[in-house]
Amino acid sequence: MVKVWDPLVRVGHWSLVTFVALSWATGEGGKGWHEGLGYAALVVITIRIFWGFIGPRTARFAEFVRAPSATIAYGLRVLAGTEPRYLGHNPLGGWMIVFLITGIALTGFTGWLYTTDQYWGVKWVGELHEGLASTLLVLIALHVAGVVFASRRHHENLAAAMLHGRKRAEDDNA
């Protein structure tokens, strides 16, 4: 077993899971909690973005966000059942991180916007916030499905690896 994900990545990941889930649960009638959890999620993604440029190798965006052509090629290999195993995030997982961070940022931003004097009660801002929150749920479902799929395909528990930070070192073909 080798260390893959550092504590900041792991704590940030599970904090986002908690903050987004609780924010969703408190969306109707839990105004104070809902807003506070949304702001907490924005703080976590701000730290994660910063860490994506200065953190350890497997935390850096340059390590796992691949060019679209490389990501499409990887996706085709997944469909063919011949994709390589990655020690860190695979190309599809890397882009999912970008989409999730963007989705959380946009949802949080529109939530904040809705609390300002200028946009308080403005229908399109509220609808945009709700639409982004629903889109975020779809992204989360795809993320969880991808984790389950990759865990089964490569015979490793990726959710557990995100808890303790370690994965087996050898490649599937070793």
- Write down all domains in the chain, each with its CATH number in brackets: 2-167 (1.20.950.20)
pTM of the model: 0.91
What pLDDT shows up at residue 171? Answer: 60
For the cut 60, the answer to whether the pLDDT of residue 173 exceeds it is no
> What mean pLDDT, rounded, does the chain reach?
93
d(CA 67, CA 165): 26
For the cut 80, the answer to whether the pLDDT of residue 172 exceeds it is no
What pLDDT shows up at residue 170? Answer: 72
What pLDDT shows up at residue 31? Answer: 76
The DSSP-derived string for 12-63 is HHHHHHHHHHHHHHTTTT-HHHHHHHHHHHHHHHHHHHHHHHHS-GGGSHHH
d(CA 106, CA 32): 19
- State the amino acid at position 13 in one-letter form: H
Percentage with pLDDT > 70 across the chain: 97
For the cut 90, the answer to whether the pLDDT of residue 32 exceeds it is no
What would the mean pLDDT of 76-98 be, rounded to a whole number? 95
d(CA 114, CA 94): 30
Residue that the structure tokens 């990655």 belong to: 86
- Which two tokens mark 64? 């796992």
